[in-house]
Chain A
C-alpha cells in the first residue's frame, strides 16, 4: 500500500464546471485548542489546507532582554514562566547551562534528586499533553483521568517546594531543599500503581475508532525532513530518528540507570502519541531505579560559597556565611568570559540555553532555544494537504506551549 504523503493527497480531480477559489481563514488567536494565544492564517481549498502561516508573538514578554539586566540566580524564576506547565525542566535546563559555564560539578545525591524530579515533571507534561490532545480530538473522558494523576503529582510538588506550577526548585550548584520522607513515600506509592493507570488510558484510546482515525496517517513527517527542520523530542523520535540528549550526552543520573529510547516507524500523530505513552513507562522505570539507588551522602547542594547560598541557620550565626549570602544576593556570582550552549532533553524537545558572558554577574546575551518555536517552523510543511479539522491535532501533536514559543 502506498504511503499517503501531502503530495499524493493533493486532489487533482476538480470538477470542470464548478467554480472554485481559495478561502482565507483566520484561526485564532482566541481559540480554545490553540494552547495559548496563537493565530494561524489558513489558505483553504474546500476543506483542505493549501498553506498555513503561523502568527506568533502574542505572548512575547522579552525574556531574553530581561535576562541581560538581572543576575544569573534572579533569572531562575523567569524560566518557570517559559513553559508554564513544566517549570521544573526549564529550571533544570537553565541551571545546567550555568553550571557548564562555571565548570562545577554537584554532589551525586543532588544529581539523583534532580533526575527524579525531572522525570516526575516529564510524566506531568505527558499527562497534560494526553489529556488536552484527547480533548481537542473530542474524547473528553481521558482529560479527567490524566488530570487525576497529574493532581497527585502536583501535590507531591507542593510537599517538595510549596508551589504547584512555578516551582523554582533547582539552584545553580544543587537544589533548593532535600526530599522529605513523605515525598519519597508518596512517590513510591504513585510509581507502584501508575502502570495500571497507563493501561486505563489505553483502554480508553487504543481501540477507539475515532482516536485512530484522527491520529493514524495524520501529519506524517519523514526522519530526514524532521532533522532538516530541527525538530526534537517526541516529534523527532516518532519519525524514527534516535536522538535523545539523555543518551547522546548524559547528564544527571541518566547514565546510571537502565532505560530505553522508544522510536516510532512512520512519523504520524499516532506514533508520537505512542512514543509519549512509552516514555511515561520509561520515566516510571527511571524514577524507581533512582529512588532505590538514591545515595545518602553528599548533600543536596555543592559546597561552593561563592556560587551556592549558605544554609539559613549558618547565615544567622556565622559571620562569613552572612558575607557570602550578602555578596551572592547583591552582586551575584562572577562568570568567566566566553560563551556556551547547553541543551537538555525536556519533554517537549531540546530546550537549550546559549549564554554569552563578558565576565561579571549578569549574562551579556542569553538565547533560549525553545522547542515549541522550532516546531512551529515546520507547521506549514506538516499541515499541507490535510483537512482543517486536522490542524488542531497537528498543534497538539507538537505539544506546544505559547509561553515558551514566544518567550
Chain B
C-alpha cells in the first residue's frame, strides 16, 4: 500500500534515479520510460533539473553520446586487496573459458562490481600493484566444442552421442536430453538426462567422440531415485547433498533418496562409507556396487 503523505516532486526525482540504474538513456528516452512506468507527469526540463540535483549530491552521472548513465553506484561496495586479487583471478579464469553465456554473465557481474567500487576501493585498485590470487594449482581449462554443446542445451532438442569410456577405448552410444554444462576441475562436463536409464548422467566433453542433434524435443525428466541406508555414526553426521532427502530415519540409521547424481559416480561415493552404507534400490545399482567390489577384489587376487 502506498504511503499517503509524500511529495510528488521528491518521488519523481527518485524514480528518475531508479531509471538510470537500469540503462543509459537520453532525456527524451527517460521521459518516455518514466511516463510509461509511473503514474507521474514529467517534462524534459524537469528531468534536467533532476540531473542537477543528482550532481549536487555527488551521484556520479555521465553523459556519453547524448545518453546519461550512472557511472558509479550510489551505494558503494568496499573491497580489500584480497577481494581485488580474487576479482583479477576470476577475470583470468573466465577469459580462458569458452562457455559464452556463462562468460558474458560473469563479465557483466564484474562490470557492475567495478562500477560499485567505493572511493577507497578505487584508490586501492589504482595505487596498489595487485596481483591475481594464485591458486595452489593453476586451473587447466579443457572445454573444446563447448559452444556446440551450449547450443544443444539451449535448443532443447535431443542429441545422440558416442562416448569413449575412461578406462577402455570402448565407445558407447547414448540418446540424451542435454541440460547444462558445468566445469569440474577445469574440465567441461555435460549434464544430460538419459531417457532409457531414467537418470541423469555426466559426460566429460573431451571424451565425446561424436555428436548429432535429433529433431525430437526433449522429454521432461522424471528420474527414478536411488535409495541408500546409512548406519551408525555416519547416519548422524551425514550432510545431505543437493536434491537429497531423508525418507526414513531411526535411532541408528537413515534412508536417503537421491535422484540427481550420476549413478556411477554416486556408487563410487557410497563406497567411501565402507560397510556403513547399503544401496537398497534399484537392484541394478545394488548389483553394480557389488560388481565393482568383486572387480576390485580380482585386481588383488
Q: Are A and B subunits of one complex?
A: no
> Could you list which residues of chain A lie within 8 angstroms of chain B, going by C-beta atoms?
none
> Could you list which residues of chain B lie within 8 angstroms of chain A, going by C-beta atoms?
none
